[in-house]
Every structure is written in structure tokens, then in C-alpha cells.
Amino acid sequence: NGFKCHCMSESHQRQLLLASENPQQFMDYFSEEFRNDFLELLRRRFGTKRVHNNIVYNEYISHREHIHMNATQWETLTDFTKWLGREGLCKVDETPKGWYIQYIDRDPETIRRQQEQERKKKQDLDDEEKTAKFIEQQVRRGLEGKELEKPVYTELNRDNEEEKVTFNLNKGASTSIAASSKTSSVLGPNALKMVEGALKRKDSAHSSGQSKEKKKKSALDEIMELEEEKKRTSRRDYWLQPEIIVKIVTKKLGEKYHKKKAVVKEVIDKYTAVVKMIDSGDKLKLDQTHLETVIPAPGKKVMVLNGGYRGNEGILESINEKRFSATIIIDSGPLKGRRVEDIQYEDISKLA
């Protein structure tokens, strides 16, 4: 024991001598380790959520092998927080309750997914503009060749000054009723039957003409189809759902979790999921940008994660590898039995 203590004391003195010769080198090393470990904990544990810096620091120092702040270039946690803001590593803001930090994710995969979401939003806006222009064209086409009837204004006169003025808002109906009663009284019952027969023949001819033009879609039918298509393709920038199987695509957690599958157990704030690894049983908290959907074999159950059929369960019927899409049969809700074609891989995922 004495020999061991002697050797350890000599080694300790040797380390002190090396540190005294170049203290800045050791401080830079410890500062870099402290910064990397702190940011990794902030990214993995809280993602891009705004959180109090003390909460993150207390969780950091709970690890036994953490690096103490007094070995770094920062004297206090406030100095370190301000430095993170100046370097652009985090968004920081001071409140009466203290300093808050928010991690800025600069992962290329995250940036790519954000750009893809922006592109889809722009595409949705373009579809809305096309629909509005189409409706405007149909209205203009319906008004072509028709002249709007201009109202004729007449003077209001009363023959008797003591008579009250009354307004009949259902003038057209009363006129038609009066005309029909007058016609029936003048022409008699036989003539009335002849008129009714002529009207029936006219209606039958009109219906036959409509059957010939049935193939031509009316403007209302086309508008309704566009609205249904718009509803079907309506999208959100979040897609996580409980009890779906996902794949971890980020490499920052190491090879142990990269490209491995997990089950979503809980969804937090729409964009964050608590997942349980299928192989190891480990639980992780990850942002949706670090996950991707899993497409099963045909015949397996899936859940629709985006679009007009979002939240419905279905059966995978077939896969189109060239178009990165699939065909499913809705298996739940009022739309059960409906066949949905050309639904993108990222809009469905295998159910656990």
C-alpha cells in the first residue's frame, strides 16, 4: 500500500508539473470536452425545445464522470450560456427567472428535411391558387353570353290615401299561382290535362338530352373533385403517431442505434417521440427529424400519418418502387374499404 501511494503521488506530481508547464493546453482540452458533452446532452435530452440552463446543467453534473466547470475557461454557468449565444450554438435569452437556452440543430439531414417541408408547403399554396383560378374561370365561362337584367325602378303610387302599403316578397310564386288558377278556370279541365301532358313530354325530352351529355362533367362536379383532391393531399409538418414502427436515421447516437427499428410509445408536442428499441428495449427521446417511416410487406397493417386520410389504419396492398409510393385499403373509420393509390412512403408506417 505504501508503494502504491508513493507511485500515485509521484504520478500526480508529474501531472501537476505538466499542467504547470502548459496550463492553457489543458484548459482548452477540458473546455472542449465540457462544451461537447453539455451540447450533446442538450440535443439528445431536450432537442430544440427552450429550457432553463440550470435544468440542463444539473442533469449534466449528475453523471459521475462529468468535467467540472472550474476546469474550463468559463467561471460561471451564465458566462458559458452567453458564450453559447455569441458562438451561434444556441438561442439564449434572459428572463426574471434566469437564462434560457434553445439548441440550434445544424445537422445536414435536419436541414434537408426542413427544406423538403418548405417545398411541400409551397406546393400546397400553388395548388390552392390553381383551384381559385379554376373557379374564377368557371364563373366567367358561365356568365359569357348572358346579359344581366337591370332592375326597373317605378314610382310608388296609391289610389287611396287611407289604404295601407303592403309588400309581397314572394311575388313570383303568387303570380304563378294566380296565373295557373286563371288558366284552369278559363280553359277548363280538359285543356288543363293537355297542358300537363305537354309539360311531361318536354321534361322527358329534357332528361334524354341530359343523358346524352352525361359524360361531360359540369363545373360543379370538377370543383368538388378538386376539393376532394385538396383534402386528400392536405399535409402537416408533423407526422408522429403512437404504436408505429420507425427507423433511427441519425448517426449521433452511435452505431448501436443507427438504422435500428423502434416503436413509438409516446408523442410529445407533436414533433418529439419517446421510442423503445425493438432489439435492446432501450428508451430514447428523439425529434421526428431523426426518424423515418418503415414500410412493411404487402398484407401487413399500416397507419396513415399525413394527408386527408391521416390517423386511419389500413392494409398495404402493393408497393410501387419506381414512384416510392404504395396502395392501401383503409381498414378503420367511416372510410373503411376505400382503396387509396399512390400514397407516399413517408405518409405511412408499419403498425406495431
Q: How far apart are CA 79 and CA 244, in angstroms?
A: 43
Specify the range with the lowest mean pLDDT, choosing from 132-141, 203-212, 342-351.
203-212
Tell me the pLDDT tens digit for each residue of 145-188.
Answer: 555 556 666 766 666 666 666 666 655 544 444 444 444 444 44
Burial of 233 (0-12, 13-18, 19+ CB in 10 A): middle
Contact 328, 314 (CB under 8 A): yes
Name which residue leads in pLDDT, 120 or 205: 120
Residue 298, helix vs strand vs coil: coil
Of 86, 67, 62, 59, residue with least CA distance to 27: 67
Share of the chain above pLDDT 90, in %: 23
Specify the range with the lowest mean pLDDT, choosing from 149-158, 260-269, 277-286.
149-158
The helices-and-strands tally (H runs, E runs) of the chain is 7, 13
Name which residue leads in pLDDT, 62 or 184: 62
Domains of the chain with bracketed CATH: 1-103 (1.10.10.2030), 237-294 (2.30.30.140), 296-351 (2.30.30.30)
* pLDDT for residue 208: 53
Contact 97, 52 (CB under 8 A): yes
Residue 83, helix vs strand vs coil: helix
**Predicted TM-score of the model (pTM):** 0.39
> Which DSSP symbol is given to 147?
P
* pLDDT for residue 23: 55
* pLDDT for residue 228: 59
Cell 332528361 locates to 207
* pLDDT for residue 129: 80
Share of the chain above pLDDT 70, in %: 66
Q: How far apart are CA 295 and CA 301, in angstroms?
A: 10
* pLDDT for residue 181: 47
